[in-house]
Amino acid sequence: MAASVLALFLSVFLALACSTAADFYRDAAITWGEGRGKILEGGRGLSLSLDQTSGSGFQSKNEFMFGRFDMQLKLVPGNSAGTVTTFYLSSQGPGHDEIDFEFLGNSSGNPYTVHTNVYSKGKGDKEQQFRLWFDPTASFHTYSIVWSPNKIIFLVDNSPIRVFNNHGSSGVAFPTNQPMRVYCSLWNADDWATQGGRVKTDWAHAPFTAYYKNFNIGSCAPGTPCATQELDAKARNRLRWVQQKHMVYNYCADSNRFPQGSSLECKRSRF
């Protein structure tokens, strides 16, 4: 009895202790953009900018096998058409795994598109896109990726917007054996990003700047509470609300692209 209470206490304690506020100086490396990426507020914040010559980006120094990754972002304001701001996880090499948040800019007054995707063993094609229910350029909001052995959860301000389950060997490949790094970038994608590439980047507004802060990394390895976490009723309701009211594209419903029918994880998708 005492031993199991102690074990419970220890596992909760370890889970808490494993969630750490990252310091951009210590935990991240600005990998491209020649001075367009800047660490701010003593390591708590970071800005990326984009001009006609280059975008910029950073990555985590460490690799992770599962985890909960929280990042606060304030996106490029005003006319952000053609720009893409990213926060994603990726492994390296062929047959890579990747879990993406991409924010596609828009012309002034038009909404950003939040693009999500999951690659397993090099295969993506699992896009879901959303509109936000707030202005993501007015203040910081928290975007999270929870990657556990059982599921991937995308969250915005702690509301789940998408769940991608691991259906095991009967299902679609799920990232379980390649460690991933965190990557963030701001770049020009005006050949496709805004309204299908019709709206180009207006360089008169450059440089464009996006802000990141309060990067937090928590463990979601097997044996941690995170790894077995299920959405409660409130979270499931919130997910349903986002998917019904704010989803603008779902690969599961795109029969033009997938005439042979949607893939297994769509049919068996359960919260």
C-beta of residue 193 within 8 angstroms of C-beta of residue 82 = yes
Cβ neighbour number for residue 152 with a 10 Å cutoff: 22
Considering the complex, what minimum distance in angstroms separates the CB of residue 108 from ligand NAG? Answer: 10
Give the integer Cα–Cα distance in Å for 239 and 62: 31
Token pair 């926060």 is found at: 87
Q: Which of 16, 136, 14 is nearest to 71 (CA)?
A: 136
- Tell me which stretch binds ligand NAG (CB under 6 A): 108-116, 223-231, 234-242, 253-261: 108-116
Q: How many residues bind ligand NAG (CB under 6 A)?
A: 8
- Tell me which stretch binds ligand NAG (CB under 6 A): 62-70, 102-110, 161-169, 208-216: 102-110
Nearer to ligand NAG, 113 or 224 (CB): 113
Question: Which CB contacts under 8 angstroms, 24+ apart, belong to 32-36?
Answer: 32/56, 32/57, 32/185, 33/57, 36/207
106 binds ligand NAG (CB under 6 A): yes
Considering the complex, what minimum distance in angstroms separates the CB of residue 194 from ligand NAG? Answer: 4
Q: Candidates 22, 71, 104, 220: give the one binding ligand NAG (CB under 6 A).
A: 104
Per DSSP, the three-state class of 101 is strand
Q: Candidates 47, 110, 250, 263: give the one binding ligand NAG (CB under 6 A).
A: 110
Considering the complex, what minimum distance in angstroms separates the CB of residue 165 from ligand NAG? Answer: 27
216 binds ligand NAG (CB under 6 A): no
Judged by phi (left if over 0) then psi (alpha if -120 to 50, else beta), residue 261 lies in left
What is the footprint of ligand NAG within residues 55-74 (CB under 6 A)?
none
Pattern of binders to ligand NAG over 126-165, x per CB under 6 A? ----------------------------------------
Give the integer Cα–Cα distance in Å for 170 and 84: 35
Per DSSP, the three-state class of 132 is coil
What is the footprint of ligand NAG within residues 171-210 (CB under 6 A)?
193-195
Nearer to ligand NAG, 156 or 193 (CB): 193
Write out the catalytic residue numbers.
98, 102
Nearer to ligand NAG, 91 or 106 (CB): 106
Strand segments, DSSP code E, in the chain are 20-21, 28-32, 37-40, 45-50, 56-60, 67-74, 83-90, 98-104, 113-119, 128-130, 141-147, 151-156, 159-165, 181-188, 208-218, 247-250
Query: Could you tell me whether strands 83-90 and 181-188 are parallel, antiparallel, or unpaired per DSSP bridges?
Result: antiparallel
Q: Candidates 113, 148, 201, 219: give the one binding ligand NAG (CB under 6 A).
A: 113
| List of residues contacting ligand NAG (CB under 6 A) | 104, 106, 110-111, 113, 193-195
